[in-house]
Structures are given as C-alpha cells and as structure tokens.
C-alpha cells in the first residue's frame, strides 16, 4: 500500500515556473515507478512524465519535453516535477501516481496508487 500526497500547485504567469512534489508513505517506495499525469476540464487524464524505480530513466510527453523535469529521492520517498516555461495549455489538475509495472507505460490504469491532485493554473 502506498499513499501519495501532492503539493506545490498554484497560479503562475506564462513563462513562469512551478515545482510539484509528491510525498509517499510506506517503505516500498523504491519498488514503484512514479508518474505525473494531468487532467484539464473536459479532457481525459493524460501522461506527463515517468521515472523508473531507481531514477535513472525518465520519460516525457512531447508537449512538456525540454520544459519539465522529473526527479525522485528514494531516501526521502519523494518525487518532484519541476515545470519551467509554463504555458496556458499546461493548466490542469496534476496527479502523481505509482506503478508496480517495470515496463514503461503511459496508461493511467496501469498505475495502482494516486495522489489527490493539485491545481496548476497558468495565466497568459
């Protein structure tokens, strides 16, 4: 069982930055790959980024590549998403999620545990 608590959302102007954090409970954090997803109003939940269990391998959606950076600290049970050069189209509720799948997946249903989500609003 993994419980995830997300923090760090807010309102920012276009071209600004935000850092999202996700704190996990439990002693098995390093057994899970971690992902970030987002969901805008009226839209399906979409993949943003993923980091492997030990952290060396990362994946990004094309829409955020070069602007967002995912990282994790297994000693602190945290995963972060640094978001730079934000755009109005990045506005959404952002979720962190944990997946026991060892293979790379962007499918939300393949992530077993989810945080509560945090609102990110980017004004133009």
Q: How many CB atoms lie within 10 A of CB 101?
A: 12
Given the structure tokens 């959404």, which residue do they identify?
A: 92
Q: Check residue 54 and give its pLDDT.
A: 86
Q: What is the pLDDT of residue 75?
A: 93
Q: What is the predicted pLDDT for the residue at 7?
A: 96
Determine the pLDDT at residue 27: 72
> So what's the pLDDT on residue 55?
79
pLDDT number for residue 122: 98
Length of the chain: 124
User: How far apart, in Å, are the Cα atoms of 48 and each of 1, 26, 28, 75, 119?
Assistant: 23, 24, 23, 24, 15
Mean pLDDT by 10 residues, the chain (124 residues): 94 98 91 97 97 92 98 96 98 97 94 96 96
């Amino acid at each position: 069982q993994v419980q995830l608590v997300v923090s760090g959302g807010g309102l920012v102007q276009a071209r600004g930055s935000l850092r999202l954090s996700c704190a996990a409970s439990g002693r098995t954090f390093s057994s899970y790959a971690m992902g970030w997803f987002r969901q805008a109003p009226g839209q399906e939940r979409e993949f943003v980024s993923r980091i492997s269990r030990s952290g060396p391998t990362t994946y990004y959606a094309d829409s955020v590549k070069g602007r967002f950076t995912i990282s994790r600290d297994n000693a602190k049970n945290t995963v972060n998403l640094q978001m730079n050069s934000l755009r109005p189209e990045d506005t959404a509720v952002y979720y962190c999620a944990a997946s026991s799948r060892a293979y790379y997946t962007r499918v939300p249903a393949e992530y077993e545990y989810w945080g509560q989500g945090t609102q990110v609003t980017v004004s133009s």
